[in-house]
Chain A
């Protein structure tokens, strides 16, 4: 068989890599901006909001595409715990990619801040102006960001584990284009 049959659709791969770049940028912008007094703080803040909303829109769209097009099955010889971890981490990733922007948006609403998206466009407030709610959401935004970063790092580690150690076609299924090494190993393995 060819590796191509077990790959994500081109739309799914495009969404994955586009969002990977956006989410990694977002995590670094977030952790960087809250730790600086430099004038770039204002620039980072002005990027953080529209980028977060873009991630929210794309994540909801991507979830729809995922439900519609599904995903290639995992290799049958993958240990059960790894399969379970893969499944759980993907639920977590989808959940966080949708929750984080919504928490950020609600948090600014609860903090009484105007929510400038870009240029003259403001977002409506989606939570009441409330100090206690703000404190809760603000703290959740930080801790869930750390959880998201940790999940992204584990996801990266697992992807590399599939690509370099197991060489089982899982990485190739999401790779931007067919990888020579993966194809070669798939070819060998597919000989009965």
Chain B
């Protein structure tokens, strides 16, 4: 034969008996199935109790409203743009390019920590600020910060349990407050947060709040020396606190209205302050505050210049993953950081695929509700 590229039949091993051939086929099948099973195990398909980003994000998605197309946590928010003005003091502690004296563009987002993108602002106990600071060399520093002094849980597992407890009961259409009470009763770590949530005054503005990294990070200087830190964006304003029932009367979007009114008068400022840990301060327990006497260093200002509706705003298509860090900042051993990164990625993947459910409506200037209606009309 053969001009079809195959050789002559010059190899004729002794034929296998039927039994031997079947045995060897069985071995081959077992190897293939075994490999597939190990793959499936690695992917979590054989472990219904493994805490996966899918399960975390699914739990976050069951806290009311229709989150399709939206972030699965901190679902209601607004974009902003501005500048991070580094005073240069950070260069001593970190080789991050945006800590060298200078001004760096920021795309950020204010939000409330809810699952429903149409929640009333008065339901948002925790307010948040996310930033993406870009350096000229392309490195980025992303951070998501909350206005609570500590985080509610220390571990991804506890966060999942809390999120499940906050889920909407289909029978009543409401969260089961007994489940939430049970969570706090059985999680003593969460008491500092619970105490803050119960006693801290409510605000009418994103602008007068201080936002905290909660998780710890390492600042690493050019010599390779690391310092454990937490950071904050400290407001320059005196908070205007109101009673909670007063807030409910203000309409569902008072935070957005307040922000736009303030920015119409001029930019808003936060001081960027880094707190240096002392030996023994926990790096992996975001539920615990560090002692108040820790050294704080002022590294510059965040200037928020403009706000944009999220639907077609510049923050929409960014994932504020707090592990996206430049050289000179690195993650600590706080287990929440990897869990945030993994879950945010899942949430980002979902909402990108669901973009049709959240139209990028061109909207009347500054009128979010009009924009949503316009989108609903298909315009």
Contacts and interface: CB of A to CB of B under 8 A. Distances in A.
Real binding pair: yes
Interface of A: 1, 6, 27-28, 31-42, 45, 73-78, 83, 111-114, 120, 122, 129-132, 134-135, 138-139, 149, 153-154, 156-157, 160-161, 164-169, 185-186, 188-190
Contacts of A134: 317, 352
A134 B355 CA distance: 11
Contact of A40 (B50, B140, B333, B338): B338
B11 A75 contact: yes
Contacts of B8: 76
Contacts, number: 154
A110 to B, nearest CB: 9
Interface string B1-36: 110111111111110100001001101110110011
B58 to A, nearest CB: 13
A189 B6 CA distance: 16
Interface stretch (B38-46, B82-90, B250-258): B38-46
Given A31-B39, A35-B52, A76-B9, 17 more contacts: A1-B10, A33-B342, A34-B346, A35-B50, A35-B53, A36-B52, A36-B342, A75-B9, A111-B348, A112-B318, A122-B139, A138-B349, A153-B36, A156-B35, A157-B32, A167-B11, A189-B10
Contacts of A111: 317, 319, 348, 352
Given A114-B139, A156-B32, A165-B24, A28 B42 contact: yes
A37 B53 contact: yes
Interface string B43-64: 1100000111110100000000
B14 A149 contact: no
Contacts of B331: 42
B43 A35 contact: yes
Q: Give the interface centre of A40, A134, A188 by most chain B CB atoms within 10 Å.
A: A134
Contacts of A28: 38-39, 42
Contact of B13 (A156, A157, A167): A167
The majority secondary structure among interface residues of chain A is helix
B168 interface: no
A48 to B, nearest CB: 12
A190 B10 contact: yes
A28 B25 CA distance: 25
Contacts of B51: 37
Nearest to B343: A37
Contact of B317 (A77, A131, A157): A131
Contact count band on B: 35 or more
Given A75-B7, A112-B318, A131-B352, A164 B28 contact: yes
Contact of A42 (B1, B318, B338, B355): B338
B327 interface: yes
B73 interface: no
26 contacts: A31-B43, A34-B345, A35-B44, A35-B52, A35-B53, A36-B50, A37-B339, A39-B335, A41-B342, A42-B338, A75-B6, A76-B7, A129-B317, A130-B317, A132-B352, A134-B317, A134-B352, A149-B39, A156-B35, A166-B13, A168-B13, A188-B14, A189-B11, A189-B12, A189-B13, A190-B10
B337 A42 contact: yes
Output the residue of A37, A112, A122, A190 with the most chain B CB within 10 A. A37
B352 A138 contact: yes
A135 B319 CA distance: 13
Nearest to A28: B42
A168 B319 CA distance: 53
Contacts of A6: 7
Contacts of A36: 44, 50, 52-53, 342
B323 interface: yes
A83 B11 contact: no
B28 A160 contact: yes
A163 B50 CA distance: 38
Closest 6 CB pairs of A and B: A185-B13, A35-B44, A37-B339, A189-B11, A167-B13, A76-B6
B156 interface: yes
Contacts of A157: 28-29, 31-32
Interface in B313-370: 316-319, 323-324, 327, 331, 333, 335, 337-339, 341-343, 345-346, 348-349, 352-353, 355
Contacts of A165: 16, 21, 24-25, 28
A153 B316 CA distance: 40
A169 B352 contact: no
B291 interface: no
Nearest to B323: A42
